[in-house]
Amino acid sequence: MKYDPGMGEQKIDHDLYRGTLDIIILTLLSERRDHGYGLIERLRSQSNGQLSISEGAVYPLLHKLESKKLIGSEWVMSSNNRRTKQYFITDTGRGAMESRASQWEQLVSVICGLRTIAKASGERYA
């Protein structure tokens, strides 16, 4: 997920994107393997601070995605010689990510259409 400067600098309401955190994590893992804290930092960085997730939320989400076989994990040695659990997206996860992202894009399109109709109606009745 890359930052789109057209979105503005306002932080996005957590309730608005909470239902899409699985897509977001899968998207980050489709770029490269990572550990939980790395995902938190990449989300914050790549969204230019507009999106964030706490450690208390990311690890249960990772466990849920792993139990659904959407991601896998393995223990690896880090550069400072410590064991760290790295997560990666599975083929099933890639398919789920594509499907959910497509549904999200469809929903955004419907919302935009409704807003256009509402604006036109509002102008007509103003």
Q: What is the pLDDT of residues 83-117, one digit of tens each?
A: 999 999 999 999 999 999 999 899 999 999 999 99
Q: How far is Cα of residue 52 from the mean position of the Cα atoms in its chain?
A: 9
Query: Model-level pTM?
Result: 0.79
Q: Which two tokens stand for residue 89?
A: 């997206």
DSSP label of 34:
B
Q: What is the CATH number of domain 5-125?
A: 1.10.10.10
Q: What is the pLDDT of residues 38-77, one digit of tens each?
A: 999 999 999 998 888 889 999 999 999 999 999 999 999 9
Contact between 50 and 12 (Cβ < 8 Å): yes
Contact between 56 and 92 (Cβ < 8 Å): no
Domain locations in the chain? Answer: 5-125
